[in-house]
Structure 1
Amino acid sequence: MAQPVVVGVDGSPSSLHAVEVAAHEAALRGVGLRLVHAFGWPSLHVPPGGPPWNPSAAGVRELLDGTLAEAERRARRAAPHLDLTREVAVGEPLMVLEIESRTASLLVVGSHGRSAFGSLLLGSTAVHLAAHARCPVLVVRGRPEPSGPVLLAADGSPAARPAVAFAFAQAALHGADLRALHVYNARTEPAYDGPADPPFVTYDADRPHHEAEHVLAEALAGHQRDHPHVAVERRTVRGRVRATLVEESARARLVVVGARGRGGFTGLLLGSVSQAVLHHAHCPVAVVRHAAD
Protein backbone atom coordinates (compact mmCIF):
# COMPACT_ATOMS: atom_id res chain seq x y z
CA MET A 1 0.00 0.00 0.00
CA ALA A 2 1.33 3.45 -0.94
CA GLN A 3 2.30 5.60 2.00
CA PRO A 4 -0.14 8.49 2.51
CA VAL A 5 0.49 12.18 2.93
CA VAL A 6 -0.15 13.10 6.58
CA VAL A 7 -1.19 16.58 7.70
CA GLY A 8 -1.44 17.89 11.24
CA VAL A 9 -4.74 19.62 11.98
CA ASP A 10 -5.46 21.83 14.99
CA GLY A 11 -8.15 24.12 13.57
CA SER A 12 -5.88 27.14 13.19
CA PRO A 13 -5.89 29.05 9.88
CA SER A 14 -2.31 27.93 9.31
CA SER A 15 -3.18 24.24 9.69
CA LEU A 16 -6.25 24.55 7.44
CA HIS A 17 -4.07 26.09 4.75
CA ALA A 18 -1.66 23.18 5.26
CA VAL A 19 -4.57 20.78 4.67
CA GLU A 20 -5.21 22.31 1.24
CA VAL A 21 -1.53 22.04 0.31
CA ALA A 22 -1.37 18.46 1.61
CA ALA A 23 -4.45 17.46 -0.40
CA HIS A 24 -2.85 18.80 -3.56
CA GLU A 25 0.39 16.96 -2.81
CA ALA A 26 -1.46 13.70 -2.17
CA ALA A 27 -3.40 14.03 -5.43
CA LEU A 28 -0.19 14.60 -7.40
CA ARG A 29 1.37 11.52 -5.82
CA GLY A 30 -1.72 9.37 -6.28
CA VAL A 31 -1.86 8.47 -2.57
CA GLY A 32 -4.32 9.02 0.25
CA LEU A 33 -4.48 11.91 2.69
CA ARG A 34 -4.56 11.36 6.45
CA LEU A 35 -5.91 14.14 8.68
CA VAL A 36 -4.41 13.86 12.16
CA HIS A 37 -5.60 15.83 15.18
CA ALA A 38 -3.74 15.26 18.44
CA PHE A 39 -4.36 16.88 21.79
CA GLY A 40 -3.32 16.57 25.40
CA TRP A 41 -5.83 17.15 28.17
CA PRO A 42 -3.80 19.76 30.06
CA SER A 43 -3.71 22.02 26.99
CA LEU A 44 -7.34 21.53 26.02
CA HIS A 45 -10.13 23.79 27.34
CA VAL A 46 -12.55 21.08 28.36
CA PRO A 47 -16.17 22.20 28.81
CA PRO A 48 -17.72 21.33 32.18
CA GLY A 49 -20.06 18.41 32.48
CA GLY A 50 -18.01 15.27 32.25
CA PRO A 51 -14.78 13.56 33.30
CA PRO A 52 -11.74 14.56 31.23
CA TRP A 53 -11.15 11.00 30.00
CA ASN A 54 -14.57 10.87 28.36
CA PRO A 55 -14.54 13.17 25.29
CA SER A 56 -18.18 12.50 24.40
CA ALA A 57 -19.51 13.41 27.84
CA ALA A 58 -17.34 16.50 28.07
CA GLY A 59 -18.53 17.90 24.76
CA VAL A 60 -15.06 17.63 23.26
CA ARG A 61 -16.16 15.18 20.57
CA GLU A 62 -18.30 17.86 18.93
CA LEU A 63 -15.38 20.27 19.02
CA LEU A 64 -13.06 17.74 17.38
CA ASP A 65 -15.62 16.68 14.78
CA GLY A 66 -16.13 20.32 13.83
CA THR A 67 -12.39 20.88 13.40
CA LEU A 68 -11.91 17.78 11.27
CA ALA A 69 -15.08 18.42 9.28
CA GLU A 70 -13.75 21.81 8.22
CA ALA A 71 -10.37 20.26 7.40
CA GLU A 72 -12.06 17.59 5.29
CA ARG A 73 -14.12 20.23 3.48
CA ARG A 74 -10.91 22.13 2.61
CA ALA A 75 -9.24 18.93 1.42
CA ARG A 76 -12.20 17.90 -0.76
CA ARG A 77 -12.29 21.33 -2.32
CA ALA A 78 -8.60 21.05 -3.24
CA ALA A 79 -8.81 17.43 -4.45
CA PRO A 80 -12.41 16.13 -4.80
CA HIS A 81 -11.57 12.48 -5.48
CA LEU A 82 -8.99 12.03 -2.75
CA ASP A 83 -8.93 8.94 -0.55
CA LEU A 84 -9.17 10.60 2.85
CA THR A 85 -9.02 9.27 6.42
CA ARG A 86 -9.21 10.91 9.86
CA GLU A 87 -7.34 10.18 13.06
CA VAL A 88 -7.92 11.70 16.50
CA ALA A 89 -5.29 10.83 19.09
CA VAL A 90 -4.91 11.74 22.76
CA GLY A 91 -1.27 12.68 23.25
CA GLU A 92 1.29 15.37 22.64
CA PRO A 93 1.05 16.51 19.01
CA LEU A 94 4.82 16.27 18.55
CA MET A 95 4.90 12.62 19.56
CA VAL A 96 1.75 11.69 17.64
CA LEU A 97 2.91 13.31 14.40
CA GLU A 98 6.40 11.90 14.76
CA ILE A 99 4.90 8.40 15.01
CA GLU A 100 2.64 9.11 12.03
CA SER A 101 5.70 10.14 9.99
CA ARG A 102 7.06 6.59 10.18
CA THR A 103 4.42 5.37 7.72
CA ALA A 104 3.99 8.56 5.66
CA SER A 105 5.48 9.65 2.34
CA LEU A 106 5.24 13.32 3.37
CA LEU A 107 4.28 15.15 6.57
CA VAL A 108 2.68 18.58 6.13
CA VAL A 109 2.25 21.13 8.91
CA GLY A 110 1.44 24.82 9.15
CA SER A 111 4.02 27.30 10.34
CA HIS A 112 1.84 28.47 13.24
CA GLY A 113 -0.53 26.50 15.41
CA ARG A 114 -2.88 27.31 18.25
CA SER A 115 -0.47 28.76 20.79
CA ALA A 116 -0.27 31.54 23.32
CA PHE A 117 3.10 32.50 21.88
CA GLY A 118 1.79 34.49 18.92
CA SER A 119 5.06 36.36 18.52
CA LEU A 120 6.99 33.23 17.51
CA LEU A 121 7.83 33.22 13.81
CA LEU A 122 7.59 29.45 13.63
CA GLY A 123 5.73 27.06 15.87
CA SER A 124 7.69 24.61 17.99
CA THR A 125 5.84 21.70 16.38
CA ALA A 126 7.16 22.54 12.91
CA VAL A 127 10.76 22.95 14.11
CA HIS A 128 10.71 19.73 16.14
CA LEU A 129 9.21 17.66 13.33
CA ALA A 130 11.67 19.03 10.78
CA ALA A 131 14.43 17.62 12.99
CA HIS A 132 12.86 14.33 14.08
CA ALA A 133 10.28 13.16 11.52
CA ARG A 134 11.06 9.95 9.62
CA CYS A 135 9.86 11.36 6.28
CA PRO A 136 10.22 14.69 4.49
CA VAL A 137 8.44 17.55 6.25
CA LEU A 138 6.71 20.33 4.33
CA VAL A 139 6.16 23.47 6.40
CA VAL A 140 3.54 25.70 4.78
CA ARG A 141 4.54 29.32 5.23
CA GLY A 142 4.90 32.56 3.29
CA ARG A 143 3.59 33.21 -0.20
CA PRO A 144 4.89 30.85 -2.88
CA GLU A 145 5.56 32.21 -6.35
CA PRO A 146 3.19 30.07 -8.50
CA SER A 147 5.40 30.27 -11.58
CA GLY A 148 8.65 30.09 -9.63
CA PRO A 149 11.09 27.18 -9.48
CA VAL A 150 11.73 24.65 -6.77
CA LEU A 151 14.79 26.08 -5.02
CA LEU A 152 17.29 23.48 -3.86
CA ALA A 153 19.96 24.36 -1.32
CA ALA A 154 22.81 22.15 -2.52
CA ASP A 155 25.97 22.03 -0.43
CA GLY A 156 27.36 18.73 -1.69
CA SER A 157 27.30 16.99 1.69
CA PRO A 158 26.23 13.33 1.97
CA ALA A 159 23.52 14.36 4.44
CA ALA A 160 21.91 16.54 1.76
CA ARG A 161 21.62 13.84 -0.91
CA PRO A 162 18.02 12.87 -0.05
CA ALA A 163 17.08 16.56 -0.31
CA VAL A 164 18.43 16.65 -3.86
CA ALA A 165 16.35 13.61 -4.85
CA PHE A 166 13.25 15.10 -3.20
CA ALA A 167 13.71 18.45 -4.97
CA PHE A 168 13.93 16.76 -8.39
CA ALA A 169 10.83 14.68 -7.61
CA GLN A 170 8.89 17.76 -6.49
CA ALA A 171 9.83 19.70 -9.61
CA ALA A 172 8.72 16.76 -11.76
CA LEU A 173 5.41 16.40 -9.91
CA HIS A 174 4.58 20.10 -10.21
CA GLY A 175 5.92 20.58 -13.72
CA ALA A 176 8.30 23.20 -12.37
CA ASP A 177 11.87 24.17 -13.05
CA LEU A 178 14.57 23.38 -10.52
CA ARG A 179 17.03 26.02 -9.38
CA ALA A 180 20.01 24.35 -7.71
CA LEU A 181 21.85 26.90 -5.62
CA HIS A 182 25.25 26.47 -4.00
CA VAL A 183 26.38 29.34 -1.80
CA TYR A 184 30.02 29.55 -0.87
CA ASN A 185 32.14 31.93 1.15
CA ALA A 186 35.79 32.29 0.26
CA ARG A 187 38.68 34.70 0.76
CA THR A 188 39.10 37.24 -2.00
CA GLU A 189 42.65 38.20 -1.06
CA PRO A 190 45.84 36.13 -1.45
CA ALA A 191 47.23 34.55 1.66
CA TYR A 192 50.50 36.49 1.23
CA ASP A 193 50.67 40.20 0.55
CA GLY A 194 53.91 42.10 0.87
CA PRO A 195 57.52 42.34 -0.30
CA ALA A 196 58.47 39.30 1.79
CA ASP A 197 56.02 36.99 -0.02
CA PRO A 198 57.67 33.79 -1.22
CA PRO A 199 58.17 34.02 -5.00
CA PHE A 200 56.50 30.64 -5.60
CA VAL A 201 53.19 31.64 -3.99
CA THR A 202 50.39 32.29 -6.47
CA TYR A 203 46.74 33.05 -5.90
CA ASP A 204 43.97 31.90 -8.20
CA ALA A 205 41.02 34.23 -7.61
CA ASP A 206 38.72 32.01 -9.70
CA ARG A 207 39.49 28.82 -7.81
CA PRO A 208 36.70 29.13 -5.16
CA HIS A 209 34.16 29.65 -7.93
CA HIS A 210 35.40 26.64 -9.89
CA GLU A 211 35.35 24.51 -6.76
CA ALA A 212 31.77 25.60 -6.05
CA GLU A 213 30.72 24.64 -9.57
CA HIS A 214 32.34 21.24 -9.09
CA VAL A 215 30.50 20.71 -5.79
CA LEU A 216 27.19 21.58 -7.43
CA ALA A 217 27.82 19.31 -10.41
CA GLU A 218 28.66 16.41 -8.09
CA ALA A 219 25.52 17.03 -6.03
CA LEU A 220 23.28 16.87 -9.11
CA ALA A 221 25.03 13.98 -10.84
CA GLY A 222 22.61 11.22 -11.81
CA HIS A 223 19.44 13.04 -10.81
CA GLN A 224 19.10 14.91 -14.10
CA ARG A 225 19.29 11.57 -15.90
CA ASP A 226 16.45 10.23 -13.75
CA HIS A 227 14.32 13.34 -14.42
CA PRO A 228 15.14 14.35 -18.02
CA HIS A 229 12.08 16.61 -18.33
CA VAL A 230 13.04 18.82 -15.38
CA ALA A 231 14.76 22.01 -16.50
CA VAL A 232 17.67 22.70 -14.15
CA GLU A 233 19.32 26.03 -13.52
CA ARG A 234 22.66 25.79 -11.73
CA ARG A 235 23.74 28.78 -9.70
CA THR A 236 26.83 29.34 -7.58
CA VAL A 237 26.82 32.46 -5.43
CA ARG A 238 29.50 33.84 -3.16
CA GLY A 239 27.91 35.20 0.00
CA ARG A 240 26.25 34.31 3.26
CA VAL A 241 24.35 31.05 2.97
CA ARG A 242 21.34 31.84 5.16
CA ALA A 243 20.77 35.36 3.87
CA THR A 244 21.13 34.28 0.24
CA LEU A 245 18.67 31.40 0.57
CA VAL A 246 16.09 33.58 2.30
CA GLU A 247 16.44 36.23 -0.40
CA GLU A 248 16.15 33.68 -3.21
CA SER A 249 13.06 32.13 -1.59
CA ALA A 250 11.04 35.23 -2.48
CA ARG A 251 11.08 34.08 -6.12
CA ALA A 252 10.47 30.37 -5.51
CA ARG A 253 7.44 28.13 -5.05
CA LEU A 254 9.27 25.87 -2.58
CA VAL A 255 12.65 25.70 -0.84
CA VAL A 256 14.18 22.27 -0.23
CA VAL A 257 16.94 21.88 2.35
CA GLY A 258 18.63 19.02 4.15
CA ALA A 259 18.28 18.79 7.91
CA ARG A 260 22.03 19.00 8.39
CA GLY A 261 24.49 20.09 5.76
CA ARG A 262 28.22 20.43 5.38
CA GLY A 263 29.86 21.53 8.61
CA GLY A 264 26.86 20.64 10.76
CA PHE A 265 27.44 19.26 14.24
CA THR A 266 26.61 15.56 14.47
CA GLY A 267 24.58 16.06 17.62
CA LEU A 268 22.33 18.67 16.02
CA LEU A 269 19.55 17.09 13.97
CA LEU A 270 18.56 20.43 12.49
CA GLY A 271 21.36 22.67 11.24
CA SER A 272 21.53 26.45 11.50
CA VAL A 273 20.88 26.97 7.78
CA SER A 274 17.74 24.80 7.89
CA GLN A 275 16.46 26.61 10.96
CA ALA A 276 17.07 30.03 9.41
CA VAL A 277 15.20 29.08 6.25
CA LEU A 278 12.32 27.60 8.26
CA HIS A 279 11.97 30.82 10.23
CA HIS A 280 12.46 33.40 7.51
CA ALA A 281 11.76 31.96 4.04
CA HIS A 282 9.16 33.73 1.91
CA CYS A 283 7.64 30.47 0.65
CA PRO A 284 6.97 26.92 1.91
CA VAL A 285 9.99 24.91 3.04
CA ALA A 286 10.64 21.18 2.79
CA VAL A 287 13.20 19.68 5.16
CA VAL A 288 14.53 16.26 4.18
CA ARG A 289 16.54 14.25 6.68
CA HIS A 290 19.17 11.70 5.83
CA ALA A 291 18.36 8.19 7.06
CA ALA A 292 21.59 8.14 9.08
CA ASP A 293 20.35 11.09 11.14
Structure 2
Amino acid sequence: MSPVVVGVDDSEASLRAVEWAAGEAERRRRPLRIVHAFIWPLLGAPLGPAPGAPPEGGLRHDAERILATALARARAVAPDVKVTTSLPESEPVTALLHDSRQAELVVVGSRGLGEVGGLLLGAVGARLGAEVACPVVVVRGLVRPGGPVVVGVADPDESQRLLPFAFAHAARTTNTLTLVHAAPDQSVDTDSAVLPGHVLDRWKERCPSVTVVQKTLTGHPGKALMRASSQASLLVVGSHHRHELSALIHGSVSQAVVHHASCPVAIIGLQE
Protein backbone atom coordinates (compact mmCIF):
# COMPACT_ATOMS: atom_id res chain seq x y z
CA MET A 1 0.00 0.00 0.00
CA SER A 2 1.44 3.37 -1.04
CA PRO A 3 2.44 5.43 2.00
CA VAL A 4 2.28 9.10 2.82
CA VAL A 5 5.95 10.14 2.98
CA VAL A 6 7.17 13.02 5.12
CA GLY A 7 10.67 14.50 5.22
CA VAL A 8 11.91 15.49 8.65
CA ASP A 9 14.90 17.31 10.16
CA ASP A 10 15.45 18.74 13.63
CA SER A 11 13.19 21.78 13.16
CA GLU A 12 9.82 22.36 14.76
CA ALA A 13 8.46 23.18 11.28
CA SER A 14 9.25 19.68 10.07
CA LEU A 15 7.58 18.18 13.15
CA ARG A 16 4.45 20.14 12.30
CA ALA A 17 4.68 18.58 8.85
CA VAL A 18 4.92 15.15 10.50
CA GLU A 19 1.74 15.84 12.47
CA TRP A 20 -0.09 16.98 9.34
CA ALA A 21 1.16 13.96 7.39
CA ALA A 22 0.10 11.58 10.17
CA GLY A 23 -3.41 13.05 10.13
CA GLU A 24 -3.52 12.77 6.35
CA ALA A 25 -2.33 9.16 6.44
CA GLU A 26 -5.12 8.39 8.89
CA ARG A 27 -7.69 10.10 6.67
CA ARG A 28 -6.45 8.22 3.62
CA ARG A 29 -6.08 4.95 5.54
CA ARG A 30 -2.49 4.72 4.40
CA PRO A 31 0.75 3.98 6.25
CA LEU A 32 3.15 6.80 7.08
CA ARG A 33 6.85 6.76 6.22
CA ILE A 34 9.10 9.27 8.02
CA VAL A 35 12.35 10.01 6.18
CA HIS A 36 15.43 11.76 7.55
CA ALA A 37 18.21 12.08 4.98
CA PHE A 38 21.55 11.25 6.59
CA ILE A 39 24.03 13.03 4.38
CA TRP A 40 27.06 12.95 6.71
CA PRO A 41 28.46 9.55 5.59
CA LEU A 42 28.64 10.93 2.04
CA LEU A 43 30.79 13.78 3.34
CA GLY A 44 33.15 11.51 5.25
CA ALA A 45 32.23 13.02 8.61
CA PRO A 46 32.81 10.92 11.75
CA LEU A 47 29.47 9.51 12.84
CA GLY A 48 30.18 8.44 16.42
CA PRO A 49 30.80 10.49 19.56
CA ALA A 50 33.95 12.55 19.83
CA PRO A 51 36.75 11.20 22.02
CA GLY A 52 35.79 11.62 25.64
CA ALA A 53 32.21 12.58 24.78
CA PRO A 54 29.16 10.70 26.15
CA PRO A 55 28.42 7.47 24.27
CA GLU A 56 25.03 8.78 23.19
CA GLY A 57 26.70 11.60 21.25
CA GLY A 58 27.57 11.78 17.57
CA LEU A 59 25.83 12.46 14.30
CA ARG A 60 24.22 9.04 13.91
CA HIS A 61 22.71 9.22 17.37
CA ASP A 62 21.39 12.71 16.58
CA ALA A 63 19.77 11.39 13.41
CA GLU A 64 18.17 8.51 15.29
CA ARG A 65 16.90 10.97 17.90
CA ILE A 66 15.30 13.10 15.16
CA LEU A 67 13.46 10.07 13.83
CA ALA A 68 12.39 8.96 17.31
CA THR A 69 10.98 12.42 18.08
CA ALA A 70 9.10 12.48 14.77
CA LEU A 71 7.76 8.98 15.37
CA ALA A 72 6.41 10.01 18.78
CA ARG A 73 4.69 13.08 17.31
CA ALA A 74 3.11 10.98 14.56
CA ARG A 75 1.80 8.37 16.99
CA ALA A 76 0.37 11.07 19.24
CA VAL A 77 -1.71 12.35 16.31
CA ALA A 78 -2.64 9.03 14.67
CA PRO A 79 -2.01 6.10 17.02
CA ASP A 80 -3.66 3.57 14.70
CA VAL A 81 -1.59 4.44 11.63
CA LYS A 82 1.27 2.11 10.75
CA VAL A 83 4.45 4.22 10.87
CA THR A 84 7.92 3.32 9.63
CA THR A 85 11.10 5.40 9.70
CA SER A 86 13.94 5.62 7.21
CA LEU A 87 17.51 6.93 7.53
CA PRO A 88 18.87 6.83 3.96
CA GLU A 89 22.47 7.88 3.37
CA SER A 90 21.51 10.52 0.84
CA GLU A 91 20.84 14.19 0.32
CA PRO A 92 17.25 15.17 1.18
CA VAL A 93 15.90 15.76 -2.31
CA THR A 94 17.31 12.47 -3.62
CA ALA A 95 15.79 10.55 -0.74
CA LEU A 96 12.36 12.10 -1.21
CA LEU A 97 12.43 11.66 -4.97
CA HIS A 98 13.28 7.99 -4.49
CA ASP A 99 10.43 7.44 -2.05
CA SER A 100 7.95 9.47 -4.12
CA ARG A 101 7.94 6.73 -6.77
CA GLN A 102 5.96 4.51 -4.42
CA ALA A 103 4.23 7.24 -2.40
CA GLU A 104 0.68 8.48 -2.27
CA LEU A 105 1.88 11.92 -1.20
CA VAL A 106 5.11 13.67 -0.13
CA VAL A 107 4.93 16.17 2.75
CA VAL A 108 7.58 18.68 3.84
CA GLY A 109 7.71 21.62 6.24
CA SER A 110 8.17 25.22 5.20
CA ARG A 111 11.49 25.73 6.99
CA GLY A 112 14.24 23.54 8.32
CA LEU A 113 17.88 22.56 8.67
CA GLY A 114 19.50 22.09 5.27
CA GLU A 115 16.35 23.43 3.64
CA VAL A 116 14.63 20.07 4.00
CA GLY A 117 11.47 21.96 4.78
CA GLY A 118 12.16 24.63 2.17
CA LEU A 119 12.56 22.24 -0.71
CA LEU A 120 10.10 24.17 -2.85
CA LEU A 121 11.73 27.53 -2.24
CA GLY A 122 14.92 27.30 -4.27
CA ALA A 123 16.94 25.42 -6.84
CA VAL A 124 16.63 22.16 -4.91
CA GLY A 125 12.87 22.63 -4.93
CA ALA A 126 12.85 23.06 -8.69
CA ARG A 127 14.31 19.59 -9.01
CA LEU A 128 11.90 18.06 -6.49
CA GLY A 129 8.88 19.77 -7.99
CA ALA A 130 9.84 18.83 -11.53
CA GLU A 131 10.71 15.20 -10.86
CA VAL A 132 8.55 14.12 -7.93
CA ALA A 133 6.21 11.30 -8.87
CA CYS A 134 3.24 12.33 -6.70
CA PRO A 135 1.63 15.44 -5.21
CA VAL A 136 3.66 17.48 -2.69
CA VAL A 137 2.26 19.31 0.34
CA VAL A 138 4.26 22.10 1.98
CA VAL A 139 2.99 22.54 5.54
CA ARG A 140 3.18 26.22 6.41
CA GLY A 141 0.99 28.87 8.01
CA LEU A 142 -1.85 27.86 10.29
CA VAL A 143 -3.60 24.52 10.11
CA ARG A 144 -7.33 25.31 10.11
CA PRO A 145 -9.24 22.01 10.11
CA GLY A 146 -12.55 23.77 9.49
CA GLY A 147 -11.43 26.00 6.64
CA PRO A 148 -12.32 25.34 3.00
CA VAL A 149 -10.02 23.65 0.51
CA VAL A 150 -9.09 26.42 -1.94
CA VAL A 151 -8.08 25.60 -5.53
CA GLY A 152 -6.21 28.12 -7.66
CA VAL A 153 -7.69 27.97 -11.15
CA ALA A 154 -5.49 29.44 -13.86
CA ASP A 155 -6.53 27.55 -16.98
CA PRO A 156 -9.88 25.69 -16.85
CA ASP A 157 -8.63 22.70 -18.87
CA GLU A 158 -5.45 22.21 -16.87
CA SER A 159 -7.22 22.89 -13.61
CA GLN A 160 -9.44 19.87 -14.13
CA ARG A 161 -6.38 17.82 -13.15
CA LEU A 162 -6.45 19.45 -9.73
CA LEU A 163 -10.04 18.45 -9.05
CA PRO A 164 -9.53 14.76 -8.15
CA PHE A 165 -7.06 15.69 -5.40
CA ALA A 166 -9.05 18.70 -4.21
CA PHE A 167 -12.46 17.04 -4.11
CA ALA A 168 -11.09 13.95 -2.38
CA HIS A 169 -9.33 16.04 0.26
CA ALA A 170 -12.42 18.18 0.83
CA ALA A 171 -14.59 15.06 1.19
CA ARG A 172 -12.19 13.71 3.82
CA THR A 173 -12.02 16.97 5.76
CA THR A 174 -14.18 20.10 5.53
CA ASN A 175 -16.69 19.23 2.78
CA THR A 176 -16.18 22.74 1.39
CA LEU A 177 -14.29 23.51 -1.81
CA THR A 178 -13.61 27.02 -3.08
CA LEU A 179 -12.46 27.55 -6.67
CA VAL A 180 -10.56 30.80 -7.10
CA HIS A 181 -9.57 32.49 -10.35
CA ALA A 182 -7.59 35.72 -10.45
CA ALA A 183 -8.46 38.26 -13.14
CA PRO A 184 -6.34 41.38 -13.72
CA ASP A 185 -9.27 43.28 -15.23
CA GLN A 186 -11.05 45.28 -12.53
CA SER A 187 -14.25 45.27 -14.60
CA VAL A 188 -14.57 41.47 -14.60
CA ASP A 189 -17.74 39.95 -13.20
CA THR A 190 -16.59 38.55 -9.87
CA ASP A 191 -19.76 36.45 -9.60
CA SER A 192 -19.07 34.59 -12.84
CA ALA A 193 -18.38 30.86 -12.73
CA VAL A 194 -14.71 29.87 -12.57
CA LEU A 195 -15.32 26.47 -14.14
CA PRO A 196 -18.30 25.47 -16.32
CA GLY A 197 -20.95 23.30 -14.73
CA HIS A 198 -20.30 20.22 -16.85
CA VAL A 199 -16.70 20.12 -15.61
CA LEU A 200 -17.82 20.01 -11.97
CA ASP A 201 -20.88 17.80 -12.32
CA ARG A 202 -19.11 14.45 -12.29
CA TRP A 203 -17.05 15.41 -9.24
CA LYS A 204 -20.16 16.61 -7.43
CA GLU A 205 -21.75 13.24 -8.19
CA ARG A 206 -18.72 11.40 -6.79
CA CYS A 207 -18.44 13.63 -3.72
CA PRO A 208 -22.03 14.76 -3.02
CA SER A 209 -21.15 15.96 0.48
CA VAL A 210 -18.79 18.64 -0.89
CA THR A 211 -20.18 22.15 -1.28
CA VAL A 212 -18.54 24.10 -4.12
CA VAL A 213 -18.08 27.87 -4.08
CA GLN A 214 -16.62 29.76 -7.06
CA LYS A 215 -14.88 33.12 -6.75
CA THR A 216 -13.19 35.44 -9.22
CA LEU A 217 -10.76 37.80 -7.52
CA THR A 218 -9.14 40.78 -9.16
CA GLY A 219 -5.44 41.50 -9.03
CA HIS A 220 -2.21 39.58 -9.36
CA PRO A 221 -2.74 35.78 -9.15
CA GLY A 222 -0.21 35.28 -6.37
CA LYS A 223 -1.70 38.00 -4.20
CA ALA A 224 -5.22 36.78 -4.91
CA LEU A 225 -4.35 33.26 -3.83
CA MET A 226 -2.55 34.57 -0.76
CA ARG A 227 -5.73 36.40 0.25
CA ALA A 228 -7.82 33.33 -0.43
CA SER A 229 -5.54 31.21 1.75
CA SER A 230 -6.18 33.35 4.83
CA GLN A 231 -9.09 31.20 5.98
CA ALA A 232 -8.29 27.98 4.11
CA SER A 233 -7.34 24.57 5.46
CA LEU A 234 -5.40 23.77 2.26
CA LEU A 235 -4.46 25.67 -0.89
CA VAL A 236 -4.18 23.53 -4.04
CA VAL A 237 -2.17 24.80 -7.03
CA GLY A 238 -0.74 23.22 -10.18
CA SER A 239 2.75 23.15 -11.62
CA HIS A 240 2.86 23.21 -15.36
CA HIS A 241 5.43 20.88 -16.79
CA ARG A 242 8.70 19.37 -15.82
CA HIS A 243 11.13 22.15 -16.56
CA GLU A 244 8.82 25.13 -16.18
CA LEU A 245 8.46 24.80 -12.42
CA SER A 246 11.76 26.55 -11.77
CA ALA A 247 10.32 29.74 -13.24
CA LEU A 248 7.17 29.29 -11.16
CA ILE A 249 9.17 28.82 -7.97
CA HIS A 250 11.32 31.89 -8.48
CA GLY A 251 8.45 34.00 -9.80
CA SER A 252 6.10 36.31 -7.96
CA VAL A 253 3.23 33.80 -7.90
CA SER A 254 5.28 31.39 -5.85
CA GLN A 255 6.56 34.19 -3.65
CA ALA A 256 2.97 34.81 -2.62
CA VAL A 257 1.82 31.20 -2.51
CA VAL A 258 4.71 29.15 -1.18
CA HIS A 259 6.47 31.84 0.85
CA HIS A 260 3.43 33.68 2.17
CA ALA A 261 0.35 31.44 2.02
CA SER A 262 -1.47 31.30 5.34
CA CYS A 263 -2.11 27.56 5.20
CA PRO A 264 -0.53 24.35 3.88
CA VAL A 265 -0.05 24.28 0.10
CA ALA A 266 -0.55 21.25 -2.15
CA ILE A 267 1.32 21.32 -5.48
CA ILE A 268 -0.05 19.03 -8.18
CA GLY A 269 1.87 18.25 -11.38
CA LEU A 270 -0.01 19.15 -14.56
CA GLN A 271 2.45 17.50 -16.94
CA GLU A 272 1.32 14.75 -19.26
Residue 182 of structure 2 is matched in structure 1 by 183
Q: Distance in 2 between matches of 1:40 and 1:120?
A: 16
Matched, 1:222 2:202: yes
Aligned residue type for 1:37: H
Equivalent residues of 1:9, 1:37 under 8 A apart:
yes
Residue 167 of structure 1 is matched in structure 2 by 166
Correspondences of 1:18-57 after superposition (within 5 Å): 18-41=17-40, 46=46
Identify the range of structure 1 (27-36 vs 158-167) with the bigger mean alpha-carbon deviation: 158-167
Identify the range of structure 1 (152-161 vs 64-73) with the bigger mean alpha-carbon deviation: 152-161
Q: 1:28 to 1:10 in 2, by over 3 A?
A: same
Matched, 1:9 2:1: no
Q: 1:155 to 1:241 in 2, by over 3 A?
A: same
Q: Distance in 2 between matches of 1:8 and 1:223?
A: 31
Aligned residue type for 2:134: C
Structure 2: unaligned runs, 5 residues or longer: none
Q: Who wins on radius of gyration, i.e. which is larger?
A: 1
SS across alignment from 1:287: strand
% identical aligned pairs: 38
1:61-90 CA-partner distances (Å, limit 9, x unpaired): 322211111010000000011111111111
Q: Distance in 1 between matches of 2:119 and 2:3?
A: 30
Q: Distance in 2 between matches of 1:179 and 1:280?
A: 19
1:130-170 CA-partner distances (Å, limit 9, x unpaired): 34311111100011333211111122344333222211111
Aligned residue type for 2:175: A
Match of 1:247 among 224, 227, 244: 227
Residue 154 of structure 2 is matched in structure 1 by 155
Q: Distance in 2 between matches of 1:111 and 1:104?
A: 20
Aligned residue type for 2:22: A
Residue 233 of structure 1 is matched in structure 2 by 213
Aligned residue type for 1:11: D
Q: Distance in 1 between matches of 2:242 and 2:20?
A: 32
Shift of 1:210: 8.8
Matched, 1:71 2:70: yes
Q: Distance in 2 between matches of 1:11 and 1:289?
A: 28
Residue 111 of structure 2 is matched in structure 1 by 112
TM-score using structure 1 length = 0.78
Aligned residue type for 2:10: G
Structure 1: unaligned runs, 5 residues or longer: 51-55, 189-207
TM-score using structure 2 length = 0.84
SS across alignment from 1:103: coil
Q: Distance in 2 between matches of 1:120 and 1:101?
A: 14
Shift of 1:9: 1.1
Q: Distance in 1 between matches of 2:242 and 2:122?
A: 24
Residue 198 of structure 1 is matched in structure 2 by none
Shift of 1:251: 1.0
Q: 1:156 to 1:222 in 2, by over 3 A?
A: farther
Equivalent residues of 1:181, 1:234 under 8 A apart:
yes
Q: Distance in 1 between matches of 2:254 and 2:156?
A: 14
Q: Distance in 1 between matches of 2:111 and 2:3?
A: 23
Residue 245 of structure 2 is matched in structure 1 by 269
Aligned residue type for 1:102: R
Q: Distance in 2 between matches of 1:174 and 1:28?
A: 8
Q: Distance in 2 between matches of 1:99 and 1:119?
A: 18
Q: Distance in 1 between matches of 2:2 and 2:244?
A: 28
